Structure 1
Amino acid sequence: MEQVLLHIPQSKHSSLLVGMENNDDAAVYKLTDQTAIVKSLDFFPPIVDDPYYFGSIAVTNALSDIYSMGATPLVGLNIACFPKTMSKDIIGKILLGGYEKAKEADVVIAGGHTIDDPEPKYGLEVTGIIKPGYEITNNNAMSGDKLILTKPLGTGIITTSMKNGKLKNDSAIILNAINVMNTLNRDASIAMTTIGVNSATDITGFGLLGHLYNMLKASNKSAKLIYNSIPIIKGTIQLVQENTPGGTLSNKQSL
């Protein structure tokens, strides 16, 4: 997609504080000297079998883009793609999971849009607010900064192993991964904005190396990772040794 966007004009406006230029987590648009809106959207197909947790995790993931910018999410719109054959009960559980996670975050789901799609997908468009100039972007990393992960790695490897039938849905490692994915990054965002950081990003689909690469490229910096210091969900390494997921290979390309 990055190669495609190179040939597409980028929107420019004096009020657009953060746009597409650095692959940041959200867009920031200034309304007044005191208020800017922060907007993002994210949706994906099921990564767990339980429909309620799928909905809850999808909303948690969408909200993370706003939190990583140091902003406060306020309102969301459902993005729902479901096949006509999917039962109303399952769809209801997905939407309930999303609603209850949004409620936990004090975010109002004000509506949304649904289309017929053979492969189910769900997520959220989110709008938040921040004071202009206080947004935390991915292009301001400084020499000497320490990299801090707020969650352990391994959820992608674990969920892929589950899809491939290598793990049972109720296994401890799956339940642990669900807990990690289902935990809001709100507290981490509050701590980040209270203490003050130079740069931040949300580590999701492109993994640690992919998102770190974007930050380093945008900041014109390099980084050193100490393997033994990286938090990893227990049991993940064994799964990698048994089978290397595609996401791991794409992660390697960022080296």
Structure 2
Amino acid sequence: MVIAANPSDLGGLAPKRLTQYAHGGGCACKIPPGELEMMVAGLRLAAPVPDVYGPLVVGVDDGDDAAVVAAPDGGPAFVLTTDFFTPVVDDPFDWGRIAATNALSDIYAMGARPVVAVNLLCWPREVLPLELAQQVLAGGLAVTSQAGCHLVGGHSVDDPEPKYGLAVTGVVDPARMLRIDAGRAGIPLSLTKKLGIGVLNSRHKATGEVFDHAIAEMTKLNREAAQAAVHNGIRCATDVTGFGLLGHCFKLARASGVTAIINSAAVEYLDGARQAAAQGYISGGTRRNLDWVLKDTSLEAVDELEALLLADAQTSGGLLVAGEVPGAPVIGELVPREEHLVIVR
């Protein structure tokens, strides 16, 4: 899609597609996981914060999907997260929908319900028409309305690169919360969305081809999957986004003190994903994901292309659940800790 009807709208430059204004796309533009962990290592308060409201239940120790603060009266706990990224598709309304769905996913990954969100918008106002920003915000509003979550105000910055997302607050029953460190040996692993979003988005960025089925996957709320997991008594989950299935599986296994076995033949992919990967539409983020987990992952059973697909940087991916979820394929299991944290078979 051409995003400006008149070259003068772009300061005399020829019109370009929205994804061409970003160095990366979606969750593939995250800071690499290894660098991120090094940055936040040791970031702890010098002294405990007085529990003026309620104690911190989930913090930064295991890299969970959101922070959780308990209520002083034993009621629902507060869940807080934020997520934003550069354009992953050229259509501004769809980008807004995808970014909002992705931000809400962190809330669902904790088994929580989103209550209120605020917008986070960075916009090159002298380069891109403000009408496009309005469409992005409208996409975010459409998704939060679908989720039953208030969306009010937020913050905007004049920025050379467009970025959009949400800061979200939700509520959860602490006794039924999903956590990344609650996995136990003997439990199956399920994945609630197909992989391959990253390679299809890379192909879209490079060629302009539109993959409606990938957009549909990225704008599908993880609400029903999370509700089913909680209803079935499951207590361990995380969402699969920028660090790929291997990266998020690695984090879950490390936090839970177990090893994750992945049955590569059971992992489902979006139509066209394998072809896109074989044609080289693999992001730098995906390659960094694979490099990050290599020393802790056994990949002898698969070739490099399969390993890259398993590390594919997803945007608004599904939930990786320690347990069986209706309609979601079982892709592996958790076993007692072995030499490797993740074993692909």
The match for 2:331 is none
Q: In structure 1, what is the Cα distance between the partners aligned to 2:220 and 2:266?
A: 22
Percent identical: 38
**Given the two structures, how large is their TM-score scaled by the length of structure 1?**
0.94
What secondary structure, in the 3-state scheme, does the structure 2 residue paired with 1:164 have?
A: helix
Offset of residue 176 of structure 1: 0.7
Residues 6-45 of structure 1 deviation map (CA, whole Å, 9 limit, x = unaligned)? 1322585561000000000000001230121000000000
What secondary structure, in the 3-state scheme, does the structure 1 residue paired with 2:261 have?
A: coil
Q: In structure 1, what is the Cα distance between the partners aligned to 2:40 and 2:115?
A: 29
Matches within 5 A, 1:203-242: 203-242=240-279
In structure 1, give the amino acid aligned to 2:260.
A
Q: In structure 1, what is the Cα distance between the partners aligned to 2:224 and 2:83?
A: 20
The match for 2:205 is 163
Which aligned segments of 4 or more residues in structure 1 are displaced greater than 6 angstroms?
Answer: none
Q: In structure 2, what is the Cα distance between the partners aligned to 1:10 and 1:19?
A: 11
Matches within 5 A, 1:50-199: 50-85=91-126, 86-165=128-207, 168-169=209-210, 174-199=211-236
Offset of residue 132 of structure 1: 2.3
The 8 Å contact of residues 156 and 247 in structure 1, kept in 2 or not, is answered as no
Q: In structure 1, what is the Cα distance between the partners aligned to 2:95 and 2:283?
A: 21
Larger Rg: 2
Residue 238 of structure 2 corresponds to residue 201 of structure 1:
yes
What secondary structure, in the 3-state scheme, does the structure 1 residue paired with 2:238 have?
A: coil
The 8 Å contact of residues 176 and 233 in structure 2, kept in 1 or not, is answered as no
The match for 2:16 is none
What secondary structure, in the 3-state scheme, does the structure 2 residue paired with 1:224 have?
A: strand
What secondary structure, in the 3-state scheme, does the structure 1 residue paired with 2:171 have?
A: strand
Offset of residue 107 of structure 1: 0.5
Residue 3 of structure 2 corresponds to residue 3 of structure 1:
no
What secondary structure, in the 3-state scheme, does the structure 2 residue paired with 1:159 have?
A: helix
The 8 Å contact of residues 33 and 131 in structure 1, kept in 2 or not, is answered as no
Go from structure 1 to structure 2 and tell me whether the alpha carbon gap of 1:24 and 1:149 turns closer, same or farther (over 3 Å shift): same
Residues 51-81 of structure 1 deviation map (CA, whole Å, 9 limit, x = unaligned)? 0000000000000000010001010010010
In structure 1, give the amino acid aligned to 2:192.
T
Residues 137-176 of structure 1 deviation map (CA, whole Å, 9 limit, x = unaligned)? 00011111111111000111110111122x512xxxx111
The match for 1:245 is 283
Q: In structure 1, what is the Cα distance between the partners aligned to 2:247 and 2:70?
A: 29
**Given the two structures, how large is their TM-score scaled by the length of structure 2?**
0.70
Go from structure 1 to structure 2 and tell me whether the alpha carbon gap of 1:10 and 1:146 turns closer, same or farther (over 3 Å shift): farther
Residues 112-134 of structure 1 deviation map (CA, whole Å, 9 limit, x = unaligned)? 00000010000000000012232
In structure 2, give the amino acid aligned to 1:224.
I
In structure 2, give the amino acid aligned to 1:57.
I
Q: In structure 1, what is the Cα distance between the partners aligned to 2:87 and 2:253?
A: 31
Q: In structure 1, what is the Cα distance between the partners aligned to 2:245 and 2:256?
A: 16
Q: What is the aligned residue count?
A: 250
In structure 2, give the amino acid aligned to 1:249.
R
The 8 Å contact of residues 142 and 198 in structure 1, kept in 2 or not, is answered as no
Gaps of 5+ in 2: 1-35, 298-345
What secondary structure, in the 3-state scheme, does the structure 1 residue paired with 2:75 have?
A: coil
What secondary structure, in the 3-state scheme, does the structure 1 residue paired with 2:259 have?
A: coil
Go from structure 1 to structure 2 and tell me whether the alpha carbon gap of 1:73 and 1:161 turns closer, same or farther (over 3 Å shift): same
RMSD, aligned α-carbons? 1.4
Q: In structure 1, what is the Cα distance between the partners aligned to 2:79 and 2:42?
A: 25
